Structure 1
């Protein structure tokens, strides 16, 4: 007699159990595709169904170190787990029950760890990841609530692990191939860049430079304007790329920084609280002055995960800028930068203008070098 826990469920609950597996399967496929879109983008747009705003975004999770194992997106394993739920539903064998329960238990613990990491360490929430977590916990709860067998089934669990190993190996090979091919994408990137219309540089240049080749911003062959938020994880990722760009194109590039805090305390475009220290961080960097700006800018990003009002206050006291940060003029400078950014329809951070061409999100270093090499060659002719 097959006394599988599924037989204890009503028809609607059986369907719900199958749907949890289907949802996990579909979401994992999407997240795997999103991983490769972010890591190896083929266009300059940042639009994605998974990027709703700067809090509800998949990009921060994708760019985090926990998104992959040796270049293999962990969402690959979600595909297998979702498939195993649907497979169990179809075979409905008591013997496989224990193996599936253990698999879902381990998966559920992993989901909890990732959920907490996203909220606490990244300060964001991946909406599709969260839906996956909910589906995972629902399936696990249904098995637990209906006394699913806890007997470990080596065969079913082994099949799941084997599928994960095989899919992981395929994904590793695919990632390696994409990495090698990314260096050969230069011509394609330049073609896409040339097809985009220049929006021009900001009317009012920023006094804050991360790299300076000429006194007048427009006189450098490469002109990069960055609209950024000190609490934005993707902005921090871009900040790791910028020094490499500055080093490669030293003396040929101007990089100016514009504050665009996603914080309702100084950004009227924000409907509610998000990065609640972003305005204060901007005030701190602004008051540090043009000469110290770059070092303070780097220091804030280095401490992004541990950023607190106490840290900002103590650093302001050390720099002697506490009074400056409280001045209305300081806030107005940041607001003016936000308003100027809005003329370029900046909707997310980081957003960049490379010689007037708008690019959203963080690009691989090879994309930037392809574009900038093209601009240097163009400047010679």
Structure 2
């Protein structure tokens, strides 16, 4: 009986992982959902960089460490599905790698830009990781909604104890949205067509299995 239960549990785990991969591959490669908006600035591919001086980091060790960059959309279900695997990689290689995030809100997602702006506003107060995590942990509550969820995102900032006057000012400041849009434009120039898209030391990683990111990081850390 115990053996049978174990086998069932293993099969369930494999099926779950397969579903996650299928969702990531399906959504992450759909070019029709990642077309830039008309307002996006144009970035020449030759001048596009995976990491810039103002790039936001979840983990920053040193400049010559292996650097993992994720172009993400907080309303993207595939990004939310990949989130726990990213956390596993961060934990496994803690102190050995830099982990950065860049915004790539999909235009068809009504609240993806609002979410990115809220995260960027929180980042200005040193709360990038907390707001980043909150977005994924609550995505089921606000994702796919057609009305603005900016007010909900403001309550997240309140819960985190942010200076709300400064948060509101940052959200309203056009520079904050420009920062988000600039990330998306540069991602497009780098060949990003969907989310999540990962780069390890400047090389785009093709995800075909949930452990592909881990393998790429492991190889880079080992000097491969």
Same-fold call, TM > 0.5? Answer: yes
Structure 2 CA distance, aligned partners of 1:355 and 1:241?
A: 18
Contact between 1:237 and 1:362, CA under 8 Å: does it hold in 2? Answer: no
Deviation per CA, 1:248-306: give whole Å up to 9, x if none. 1111110110011113xxxxxxxxxx211111111111011252100110011101011
**Which structure is larger by alpha-carbon Rg, 1 or 2?**
1
CA distance in 2, matches of 1:358, 1:241: 17
Give the alignment partner of residue 282 of structure 1, picking from 116, 119, 122.
Answer: 116
What CA deviation, in whole Å up to 9, does each residue of 1:107-131 have, x standing for no partner? Answer: xxxxxxxxxxxxxxxxxxxxxxxxx
Change in Cα spacing, 1:37 to 1:238, as seen in structure 2 (3 Å) is closer
Residues 79-90 of structure 1 correspond to what in structure 2 (within 5 A)?
Answer: none
Q: CA RMSD in A?
A: 3.1
Higher helix share: 1
1:378 is paired with a residue whose SS is coil
Report the CA distance between 1:54 and its aligned residue.
4.2
Aligned to 2:154: 313
Asked whether 1:209 is paired with 2:57, we answer yes
Q: Distance in 2 between matches of 1:223 and 1:203?
A: 9
SS at match of 2:177: helix
Question: Contact 1:259–1:282 at 8 Å: present in 2 too?
Answer: yes
Q: Report deviation, 1:205.
A: 4.1
Are residues 344 and 37 of structure 1, via their aligned partners in 2, closer, same or farther at CA, if it must alter by over 3 Å? farther
Q: Among 77, 83, 86, which residue is 1:239 paired with? A: 83
Secondary structure, counterpart of 2:222 in structure 1: helix
Quote the Cα distance in structure 2 between the aligned partners of 1:204 and 1:377.
25
5+ unaligned residues in a row in structure 1: which ranges? 1-34, 56-199, 264-273
Sort the Cα spacing of 1:250 and 1:36 in 2 relative to 1 into closer, same or farther, 3 A.
Answer: closer
CA distance in structure 2 between the aligned counterparts of 1:213 and 1:223, rounded to whole angstroms = 9
RCO higher in structure (CA 8 A, sep ≥6)? 2
Which of these residues, 169, 175, 183, is aligned with residue 337 of structure 1? 183
1:370 to 211, 215, 218: 215
Preserved contact between residue 71 and residue 102 of structure 2 (Cα < 8 Å): yes
Q: Alignment partner of 2:123: what SS?
A: coil
Q: Which residue of 1 aligns with 2:139?
A: 304
**Which structure 2 segments of 5+ residues have no match?**
1-16, 35-47, 143-148
Q: CA deviation at 1:229?
A: 0.3
SS of the residue corresponding to residue 339 of structure 1 reads helix
Aligned counterpart, 2:129: 294
Confirm or deny: 8 A CA contact 1:349 1:360 kept in the other structure: no
- For 1:333 and 1:368, locate their aligned partners in 2 and report how far apart those are by CA, in whole Å: 26
Distance across 1 between alignment mates of 2:25 and 2:54: 24
Q: With structure 1 as the length reference, what TM-score do the two structures score?
A: 0.43
Which aligned pairs between 1:69-84 and structure 2 lie closer than 5 A? none
Residue 36 of structure 1: CA displacement? 5.3
2:101 maps to: 257
Matches of 1:304 and 1:368, distance apart in 2 = 23
Structure 2 SS opposite 1:288: helix
Cα distance in 2 between the residues matched to 1:362 and 1:334:
28
SS at match of 1:284: helix
Aligned to 1:353: 199
